[in-house]
């Protein structure tokens, strides 16, 4: 009799569980801040608003304080792909923003797709899709898990920031056309913009922002976390210093908006329009919106992480994020949505800023180095264009040319290594096939290995000294290396299903997607190598 009652209870519980359905949030909001070092959470903490985004997520959500990128190069396309796929370039095939493709013998842009056309503009900037990404994302897996009833939308000023996270099966991805100030997409997703997106474009938001210009939130004296406003090693796209009058760009130059905090505002407004019009999070079938804020990257490259511009940019982004959370409370309902915030990479300080403070740093002009190499190799072999690319801190050799000329690749590679090894900014240079024979810390070797995909990677690896950057000009800075300033990123969780707290345990960027998979009770993406962060989940 006792067994009978136990069986009845189990059966009743089973029916109850089925009737209730799987518990999931109404909406998942993924936020990637393009070029956000982890230390920005605390560098500007005292100036963030109490009701802004960063303090709210830090104090009411969960922070993974020691989140690291497990591969190189630490650049935008790789970061967005890794966050949403849980994979690395060795599997996803996204080895950089651009890579030299050995099979096609040309440079390939990560999101290019010549088979599709632009929607929403007459430019060619919409000829994009996720086809070069060889894995699924968590967005694809949610679509599969709900038999494609979930809606997925990706939004970013950068095409790659919207396309790669949203995955192959997304309902839409939208990005910014800097030739006319419109949000666009491609025929991969649809044949015409929805009315809400066209209506948004018709409002000419960018011209309105240019009319306002870029003024500081507070008096310059309050920017104590930054160096002087006017520095020779900062680029000057708008003039020498604040305030920046931008009226002369109205109707003429729609690219400049990206290098201001107003690029984030434009993104947020388009996100809100998309959530409202597409009714994301309006029913019990979980949707995902993948948002990437690109302007911090443009600002950081141009002015550096210690600039007044960067500080003002993050103070304003904090307000944008706070307003977005308020909007989500009103639309999806407080406690009914889950947010995660991370970054695709960090950034190095401007080398000249380092030097003026007696810290190590410098510039290495690898493109000029490649051009000089080709001149020297022409003299040596009487053949042009032997080194075809310096993308992603690697040198790529022209293999068909070497084969036809019967030049020993091993001897040529060693000649290049010997020639460049004395450069003052290079810490290591070696044939990639010798990776496991070169004395390196295991973590650095693993990062290089995780970034290698045979047909899309090079022949010779360059590792710069700490504080050194791959430069194309004498101003600004960049990212892409293994060092913590490039690879240590924030990871905040907030909302439905999330504990309150923090951990200093090391986790990886690749752990984000499987954590979402555990939260949503769905399969991990097809190339996932990460593990769920159990401390985050209730």
Contact status, residue 280 vs residue 289, Cβ threshold 8 Å = yes
Q: Could you give phi then psi for residue 480, rounded to 5 degrees?
A: 135, -5
Q: Which two tokens stand for residue 129?
A: 């899709």
Q: Using CA atoms, how far apart are residues 246 and 239, in angstroms rounded to an integer?
A: 10
Specify whether the backbone of 277 is left (phi greater than 0), alpha (psi in -120 to 50) or beta. Answer: alpha
Planar angle of CA 134, 135, 141, nearest 5 degrees:
150
The CA distance from 38 to 342, in Å, is 9
Nearest to 256 by CA among 238, 243, 273: 238
CA distance 319 to 324: 9
Which residues lie closer than 8 Å to 359 by C-beta, 6 or more apart?
349, 467
H or E, element range at 101: strand 98-101
Residue found by looking up tokens 């407004």 in the block: 269
**For residue 288, which of 338, 245, 250, 323 has the smallest C-alpha distance?**
338
Q: Can you read off the two tokens belonging to residue 111?
A: 């999101």
Task: Tell me if residue 76 is catalytic.
Answer: yes
Point out the catalytic residue in the list 67, 72, 74, 76.
Answer: 76
- Reference 502, options 62, 44, 30; nearest CA is 62
**Residue 524 has what DSSP assignment?**
P
What are the C-alpha distances in Å from 288 to residues 155, 264, 314?
11, 19, 25
Q: How far is CA 180 from CA 79, 203, 206, 257, 287, in A?
A: 28, 12, 9, 11, 30
Dihedral over alpha carbons 124, 130, 131, 137 (to 10 degrees): 180
How far is it, in rounded angstroms, from Cα 315 to Cα 218?
10
Alpha carbon distance 362, 264 (integer Å): 31
Question: Where in the sequence numbering do the catalytic residues fall?
Answer: 76
């Amino acid at each position: 009799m006792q067994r009978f009652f136990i069986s009845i209870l189990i059966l009743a519980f089973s029916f109850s569980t089925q009737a209730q359905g799987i518990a999931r949030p109404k909406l998942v909001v993924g936020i990637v801040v393009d070029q956000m070092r982890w230390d920005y959470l605390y560098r500007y903490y005292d100036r963030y608003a109490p009701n802004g985004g960063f303090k709210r997520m830090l104090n009411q959500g969960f922070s993974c304080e020691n989140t690291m990128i497990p591969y190189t190069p630490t650049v935008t396309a790789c970061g967005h792909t890794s966050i949403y796929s849980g994979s690395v370039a060795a599997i996803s095939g996204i080895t950089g923003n651009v890579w030299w493709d050995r099979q096609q013998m040309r440079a390939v842009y990560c999101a290019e797709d010549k088979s599709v056309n632009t929607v929403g503009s007459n430019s060619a900037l919409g000829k994009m899709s996720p086809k070069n990404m060889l894995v699924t994302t968590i967005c694809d897996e949610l679509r599969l898990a709900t038999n494609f009833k979930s809606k997925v939308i990706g939004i970013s000023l950068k095409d790659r920031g919207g396309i790669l996270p949203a995955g192959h099966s997304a309902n839409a991805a939208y990005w910014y056309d800097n030739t006319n100030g419109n949000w666009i997409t491609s025929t991969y997703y649809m044949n015409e913009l929805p009315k809400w997106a066209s209506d948004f474009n018709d409002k000419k938001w960018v011209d309105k922002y240019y009319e306002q210009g870029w003024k500081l939130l507070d008096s310059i004296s309050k920017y104590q976390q930054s160096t002087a406003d006017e520095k020779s090693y900062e680029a000057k796209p708008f003039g020498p210093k604040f305030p920046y009058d931008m009226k002369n760009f109205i109707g003429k130059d729609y690219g400049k908006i990206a290098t201001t905090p107003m690029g984030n505002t434009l993104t947020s407004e388009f996100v809100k329009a998309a959530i409202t019009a597409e009714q994301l999070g309006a029913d019990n079938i979980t949707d995902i919106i993948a948002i990437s804020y690109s302007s911090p990257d443009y600002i950081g490259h141009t002015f550096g992480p210690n600039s007044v511009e960067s500080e003002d940019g993050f103070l304003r982004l904090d307000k944008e994020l706070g307003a977005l959370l308020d909007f989500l409370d009103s639309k999806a309902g407080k406690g009914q949505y889950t947010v995660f915030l991370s970054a695709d990479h960090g950034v190095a300080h401007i080398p000249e800023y380092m030097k003026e403070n007696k810290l190590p740093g410098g510039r290495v002009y690898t493109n000029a180095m490649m051009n000089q190499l080709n001149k020297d190799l022409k003299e040596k072999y009487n053949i042009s264009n032997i080194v075809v690319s310096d993308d992603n801190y690697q040198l790529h050799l022209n293999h068909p040319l070497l084969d036809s000329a019967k030049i020993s690749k091993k001897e040529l590679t060693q000649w290049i290594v010997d020639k460049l090894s004395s450069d003052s900014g290079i810490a290591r240079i070696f044939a990639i096939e010798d990776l496991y024979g070169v004395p390196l810390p295991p973590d650095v070797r693993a990062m290089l290995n995780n970034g290698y995909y045979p047909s899309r990677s090079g022949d010779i690896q360059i590792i710069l000294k700490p504080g050194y950057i791959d430069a194309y000009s004498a101003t600004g800075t960049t990212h892409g290396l293994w060092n913590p300033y490039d690879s240590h990123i924030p990871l905040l969780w907030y909302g439905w299903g999330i504990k309150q707290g923090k951990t200093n345990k090391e986790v990886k960027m690749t752990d984000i997607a499987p954590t979402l998979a555990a939260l949503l009770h769905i399969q991990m993406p097809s190339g996932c190598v990460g593990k769920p962060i159990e401390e985050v989940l209730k």
